[in-house]
Amino acid sequence: MSIILEVNNLNTRFDTPEGEVSAANNINFTLQKGQSLGVVGESGSGKTQIFMAIMGLLAKNGRTSGEAIFKGQNLLGLPVVELNKVRGVSLSMIFQDPMTSLNPYLKVSRQMTEVLIEHQGLDKESALERSIRMLELVGIPEARKRVHMYPHEFSGGMRQRVMIAIALLCEPDLLIADEPTTALDVTIQAQILELLHSLKEEMGMSIVMITHDLGVIAGMCDHVMVMYGGRVVETGTVHEIFNDARHPYTQGLLQSMPRIDGNHNEDLYAIPGQPPNLQALPSGCAFQPRCQYADAQCRSTQPEPAALSQHRMIACHHITVAKDLIPAMESA
Amino acid sequence: MMSDPILKVENLKVHFPVDVGTFFSNKAQLKAVDGVSFELNEGETLAIVGESGCGKSTLGRAVLQLLHNTEGQVIWMGENITGYSVKAMRPLRNEMQIIFQDPLASLNPRMTIGEIIAEPLATHNPDMPKEQVKSRVREMMDIVGLLPRMINRYPHEFSGGQCQRIGIARAMILQPKVIVCDEPVSALDVSIQAQIINLLGELQKRFGLSLLFISHDLSIIRHISHRVMVLYLGNVMEIAEKDELYNSPRHPYTQALISAVPVPDPDKEAHKKRIVLKGDLPSPINPPSGCVFRTRCLYADQQCEREKPDLNTLTEASVKSTHQVACHKQAEIHRTN
């Protein structure tokens, strides 16, 4: 298998009136071709900013360092002209709210054909045909008619499909999906997830799925990366994360989720406290104020990521302790 | 023996007039809630679940008479409060409260949280001495898990989860009998959701509260509710006790809804049979004839197109509790499954 995306020591910082804020620190991961990576974390964990940096879409006050090697080319620091040869062509991103990415003044046909004319040099007619075929592929009924509509004439689920269709027009090798179904109802979410799944299987597309919903990750992803306070705290295969979580935050997250298939007559496990403010991170490990295993070492030093295998990493001073406590926590 | 329900809603309809058509400005009716009946018992949590646009929030507001219903009745502890004026409702307001989805937006940014939590007291008990108000506020803050010393801070100084605690304290200070919770945890992070869900559960046990819990999240509802009502396009599809509904859903819509919820378990996800519904929610201005769900239903036939199904109670011996379903085909579907 070949590597499609390799991220080395990526850091993202923002200059704010209150000083510099680190949104993502020392991020390292690789993604194989045809695989999907789930990135999970709470709001402010930095999960979106990593990929905004890779796409060259950071806000003006943002700065990035490190490497993001996509198909052999480092995207960070690439001039916009060069970046545009990649973005929307072999690397696409879709967002939570389709209305913020679609231009409300332009018909869908214009927004779609534009991409093909610009990137693939198609003429108007064949670009339109291709757009209609793509809308059909993502499951929009009467695509031939609806391609000439404006975004507001579509429902939320349909708009998300239009956005996916645009992202897929040039058949990208990697699709980054940032909370693609969070704003949608469950029945529509099921439709979109099924669509993404079949695209991955049929087109061999790699997918990065950024979400806070562990259920979506369980169904969609091969690997998982858990973020907290701007750092990766644990990575592993989907089975390792769901069946053998080692970081206390990952464990807490899994146990605090209400489950439709779980035990419903007891209180939920709740992680105490609040998610950290990136402008005032606690000393040492960012999770220590909420962690039941925290000790003096956790309060003073940032835990270094420890690799257990090629894809398995945990950043916790108490890996062994946490591991031993898993069965105890389950029976409690 | 069950005591009388605290709240009884009969054939409630809320229709909004809307303009349709450019030239003739026709008035049409948007049927947000179209004939809903239910009862809420003391100390019970009834969940109202449905997708966006199904009328669940409108229903919650109409129950509190924050919106006037077009037809039907709302009976509060035996008293028909339908169409009560703001003034007539006021004495009842301290018994029924509401908390909202966006915790920060529902708090006045210019008031300290002490003032926010005390405001219902000022309205309903204007004669209460200041010292007593303050001690009640502190007591309530302690109950919902806020440090009483934060009493003079402003809402923006708090995180989403804490703001929701402030909203809950404000709702609880009058010691209501019922709280309508409109998507109270949807805007919160996963780790904070669990804190708020547990808090609501504790308050219910401690004060014997009844909750009308409006949500689109079937996993959360399974945790918090006693009974569940499934709404689709302003109509009740199914209503049953929680375990009954989740273990043997009878309406094809409920079945699809439950099967669509992703489970945080990769093995279960890989082998799950998922019912994927086609299409979108139809417009509530022009709902389908007959059964409103038929345009997305796998089992719909001509009868479903012609006749609107009644909400019938299941009579099978195996069904222990009250389980009502509005579907012509439910018996047939149940046999073949």
ipTM for this model: 0.81
Angle at which helix A108-120 crosses helix A124-137, to 10 degrees, equals: 120
Mean pLDDT of A38-65: 92
Taking the whole predicted model, whether its pTM rises above 0.80 is answered as yes
**Residue A324: per-residue pLDDT:** 46
More confident residue, A101 or B25: A101
Q: Which domains does chain B have, with CATH numbers?
A: 7-95+176-248 (3.40.50.300)
The nearest alpha carbon in chain A to B198 belongs to: A267
Q: Does the beta-carbon distance from B194 to A271 stay under 8 Å?
A: yes
**Residue A160: per-residue pLDDT:** 86
Q: What sign for the dihedral angle of Cα A122, A34, B276, A253?
A: negative
In a domain, A31, yes or no: no
**Residue B296: per-residue pLDDT:** 92
Q: Find residues 115-134 of chain A whose CB sits inside 8 Å of chain B.
A: none
Contact B212, B179 (CB under 8 A): yes
**Residue A296: per-residue pLDDT:** 94
**Residue B278: per-residue pLDDT:** 81
Measured from the Cβ of residue A198, the count of other Cβ atoms closer than 10 Å reads: 11
Chain A residues with CB-CB distance to B263 below 8 A? 215, 218-219, 259-261
Mean pLDDT of A257-268: 78
> Is the confidence at residue A183, as pLDDT, over 80?
no
Q: Closest by alpha carbon to B52, among B180, B160, B183, B179?
A: B183
What is the count of structural domains for chain A? 2
Contact A137, A165 (CB under 8 A): yes
Q: What is the residue-averaged pLDDT of chain B?
A: 91
CB contact, 8 Å: A193 with chain B? yes
Task: Supply the range of the domain harboring residue A293.
Answer: 245-331
CB contact, 8 Å: A212 with chain B? yes
- Cβ partners under 8 Å of residue B300, min gap 6: B291, B293, B294, B329
User: Which two three-digit tokens encode residue A74?
Assistant: 């480092």
Q: Does the beta-carbon distance from A270 to B198 stay under 8 Å?
A: yes
Mean pLDDT of A117-146: 90
> Is the confidence at residue B116, as pLDDT, over 60?
yes
In a domain, A256, yes or no: yes
Q: Which of A148, A169, A190 is the last residue of a domain?
A: A169
Angle at B290 between CA B288 and CA B294, to 5 degrees: 60
Q: Any idea which residue has 């690397």 for tokens?
A: A91
User: Which two three-digit tokens encode residue B243?
Assistant: 């375990």
pLDDT digits (tens, 9 = 90+) for A237-249: 999 999 999 999 9
Q: How far apart are CA A214 and CA B262, in angstroms?
A: 8
In a domain, A181, yes or no: no
What order do you get walking across the sheet with B312-313 strand by strand?
B96-99, B178-182, B210-215, B45-49, B227-232, B235-241, B323-325, B312-313
In a domain, A85, yes or no: no
